[in-house]
């Protein structure tokens, strides 16, 4: 705000000085002292606006919680916010308790699974031995029934022959039943072992995650730069020591020192005509005598308030720096910028005080043959105290700084 007020004061003082010179010129030329005026001249025109903001990295590297830390983890230690870090430097350490607990659970689950699998295999072998005995008994009985089957109607009665046939058929069914039980039991045992194998692989995966998590308990810098921990809406570090964080959660960013840009904010009322490509000058607030040339890289399309408690709207503007001053610049520093909105080599420039308006548009009072006429004009860009007349006047015309008491006949005013 100090820079903005200083610019306004300088512009007002300059305008008053210019008006004084123009008024003095009118008096020397013998014009009426009752009505001050100025002579229209071509001169260079330049309008600037002030903005404030910060330096930020153009391509910051986001640092999330390592993916190897499945689930949640607790922050045990962290480097100081805003510190300058080197590549592979330790930034954050996580509490190993959770990973150690998962490791122990995974190991216990594997041991339990191995015992269950061994128990199932032993039980399956015992059951298969039992079923094999039943099958052999049934097969032996079938052999006896076939060997001693009563079929001779001369020797055996009809009742004995039928009973022998029934015994043979029953022995066949018992053998078939024993074989079917063996097959079904083998399938059930194989299925149960497959399920245990699936459980084992799941336990091995969880154990591997825990082992990987133990190796990922340290967060290190992928490259050098300035460390910036993420902050919440209250401006506090969002994941301090003791906080619970989750896999993939963004924690911080590292801003490289050699790739900075300026993010500044321009009042909505001052941003008219500002566009990408405009020239600018940036100074770090702590070093106001070391300006750096810049160019407007991007102007946000929508104005927004910077403070939720204030309705004042600003356009965000990104400035590309033409050089990097490594001695004084680092991300997060406050900067002030002067942005050139309009710049003309030659233009008809008049004081804004000399321009009037009505429902038909802008006009000035132009002096002709000792009298004043209303002259309609088309205006160009303007600055504090001055405006460019694009059409309606010529260099050398004399215009009034206030409305004359009488107008010449034929004037359209």
Q: Is 225 exposed, middle or buried (0-12, 13-18, 19+ CB in 10 A)?
A: buried
Structure token digits, residue 149: 């089957």
How would you label 48-73 residue by residue, b for 16+ Cβ within 10 Å and e otherwise?
Answer: bbbbbbebbbeebeebebbebbbeeb
pLDDT value of residue 412: 57
How many other C-beta atoms lie within 10 A of the C-beta of residue 257? 16
174 contacts 140 by C-beta, under 8 angstroms: no
What are phi and psi for residue 395, nearest 5 degrees?
-60, 135
pLDDT value of residue 156: 66
Higher-confidence position of 161 and 125: 125
pLDDT value of residue 250: 93
Residue 336, pLDDT > 90, answer yes
Question: Which DSSP symbol is given to 310?
Answer: -
- Between 146-155, 206-215, 342-351, the lowest mean confidence (pLDDT) is in 146-155
CA atoms of 81 and 323, how far apart (whole Å) = 26
392: alpha, beta or left, given left = phi > 0 and alpha = psi -120 to 50? left
Higher-confidence position of 412 and 200: 200
What are phi and psi for residue 334, nearest 5 degrees?
-80, 140
Higher-confidence position of 219 and 259: 219
pLDDT value of residue 47: 84
pLDDT value of residue 242: 92
Closest by alpha carbon to 53, among 300, 285, 340?
A: 285
pLDDT value of residue 272: 78
pLDDT value of residue 6: 46
pLDDT value of residue 411: 53
Residues 6+ away with beta carbon under 8 Å from 171: 138, 141, 142, 144, 145, 146
Question: Which DSSP symbol is given to 219?
Answer: E
pLDDT band at residue 225 under the 50/70/90 scheme: confident
193 contacts 121 by C-beta, under 8 angstroms: yes
pLDDT band at residue 32 under the 50/70/90 scheme: very low
Three-state secondary-structure class, residue 260: strand
pLDDT band at residue 15 under the 50/70/90 scheme: very low
Structure token digits, residue 91: 């930034």
Residues 6+ away with beta carbon under 8 Å from 155: none
Structure token digits, residue 208: 């591997």
Higher-confidence position of 266 and 126: 266
CA atoms of 174 and 122, how far apart (whole Å) = 26
Residue 24, pLDDT > 60, answer no
CA atoms of 46 and 115, how far apart (whole Å) = 86
Question: Which DSSP symbol is given to 207?
Answer: H
Average pLDDT, the chain: 81
Structure token digits, residue 153: 């109607």
pLDDT value of residue 152: 62
Helix (H) or strand (E) holding 123: helix 97-147
Q: What is the pLDDT of residues 138-186, one digit of tens each?
A: 777 777 766 776 666 667 677 766 776 777 777 777 778 777 887 887 7
Structure token digits, residue 236: 């506090």
Q: What is the pLDDT of residues 357-376, one digit of tens each?
A: 999 999 999 998 888 899 99
Q: Is 410 exposed, middle or buried (0-12, 13-18, 19+ CB in 10 A)?
A: exposed
Percent of residues, the chain, with pLDDT higher than 90: 25
Residue 23, pLDDT > 80, answer no
Question: Which DSSP symbol is given to 231?
Answer: B
Q: What is the pLDDT of residues 395-408, one digit of tens each?
A: 899 999 988 877 65
169 contacts 142 by C-beta, under 8 angstroms: no
CA atoms of 277 and 327, how far apart (whole Å) = 27
Report the pLDDT averaged over residues 297-319: 90
Residue 26, pLDDT > 50, answer no
Three-state secondary-structure class, residue 306: coil
pLDDT value of residue 21: 41
350 contacts 40 by C-beta, under 8 angstroms: yes
pLDDT value of residue 200: 83
> Can you say how many angstroms the Cα of residue 352 is from the centroid of all Cα atoms in its chain?
44
CA atoms of 11 and 383, how far apart (whole Å) = 9
Pairing of strands 260-267, 313-321: antiparallel
Structure token digits, residue 118: 């061994």
Three-state secondary-structure class, residue 26: helix
Residue 70, pLDDT > 60, answer yes
Residue 301, pLDDT > 60, answer yes
Q: What is the pLDDT of residues 128-138, one digit of tens each?
A: 787 778 777 77
Q: Looking at the chain, how many residues does it have? A: 413
pLDDT value of residue 11: 45
Residues 6+ away with beta carbon under 8 Å from 371: 407, 408
């Amino acid at each position: 705000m100090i820079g903005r007020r200083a610019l306004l004061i300088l512009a007002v003082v300059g305008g008053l000085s210019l008006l004084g010179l123009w008024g003095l010129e009118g008096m020397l030329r013998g014009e009426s002292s009752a009505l001050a005026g100025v002579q229209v001249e071509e001169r260079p025109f330049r309008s600037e606006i002030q903005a404030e903001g910060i330096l930020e990295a153009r391509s910051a590297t986001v640092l999330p919680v390592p993916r190897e830390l499945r689930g949640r983890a607790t922050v045990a230690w962290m480097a100081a916010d805003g510190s300058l870090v080197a590549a592979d430097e330790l930034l954050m350490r996580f509490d190993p308790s959770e990973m150690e607990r998962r490791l122990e659970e995974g190991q216990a689950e594997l041991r339990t699974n191995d015992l269950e699998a061994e128990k199932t295999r032993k039980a399956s072998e015992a059951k298969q031995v039992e079923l094999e005995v039943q099958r052999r008994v049934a097969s032996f009985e079938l052999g006896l029934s076939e060997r001693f089957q009563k079929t001779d109607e001369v020797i055996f009665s009809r009742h004995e022959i039928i009973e022998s046939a029934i015994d043979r058929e029953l022995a066949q069914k018992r053998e078939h039943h024993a074989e079917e039980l063996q097959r079904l039991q083998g399938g059930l045992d194989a299925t149960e072992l497959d399920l245990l194998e699936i459980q084992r692989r799941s336990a091995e995966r969880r154990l591997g995650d825990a082992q990987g998590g133990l190796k990922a308990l340290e967060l290190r810098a992928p490259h050098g730069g300035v460390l910036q921990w993420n902050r919440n809406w209250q401006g506090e570090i969002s994941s301090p020591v003791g906080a619970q964080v989750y896999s993939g959660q963004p924690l911080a960013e590292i801003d490289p020192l050699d790739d900075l840009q300026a993010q500044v904010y321009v009042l909505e009322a001052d941003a008219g005509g500002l566009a990408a490509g405009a020239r600018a000058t940036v100074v770090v607030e702590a070093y106001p005598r070391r300006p750096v040339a810049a160019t407007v890289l991007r102007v946000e399309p929508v104005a927004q308030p910077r403070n939720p408690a204030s309705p004042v709207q600003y356009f965000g503007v990104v400035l590309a720096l033409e050089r990097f001053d490594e001695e004084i610049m680092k991300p997060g520093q406050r900067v002030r910028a002067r942005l050139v909105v309009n710049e003309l080599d030659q233009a008809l420039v008049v004081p804004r005080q000399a321009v009037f308006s009505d429902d038909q548009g802008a006009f000035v009072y132009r002096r002709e043959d000792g009298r004043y006429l209303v002259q309609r004009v088309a205006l160009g860009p303007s600055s504090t105290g001055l405006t460019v007349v694009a059409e309606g006047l010529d260099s050398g015309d004399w215009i009034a700084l206030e409305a004359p008491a009488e107008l010449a006949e034929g004037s359209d005013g």
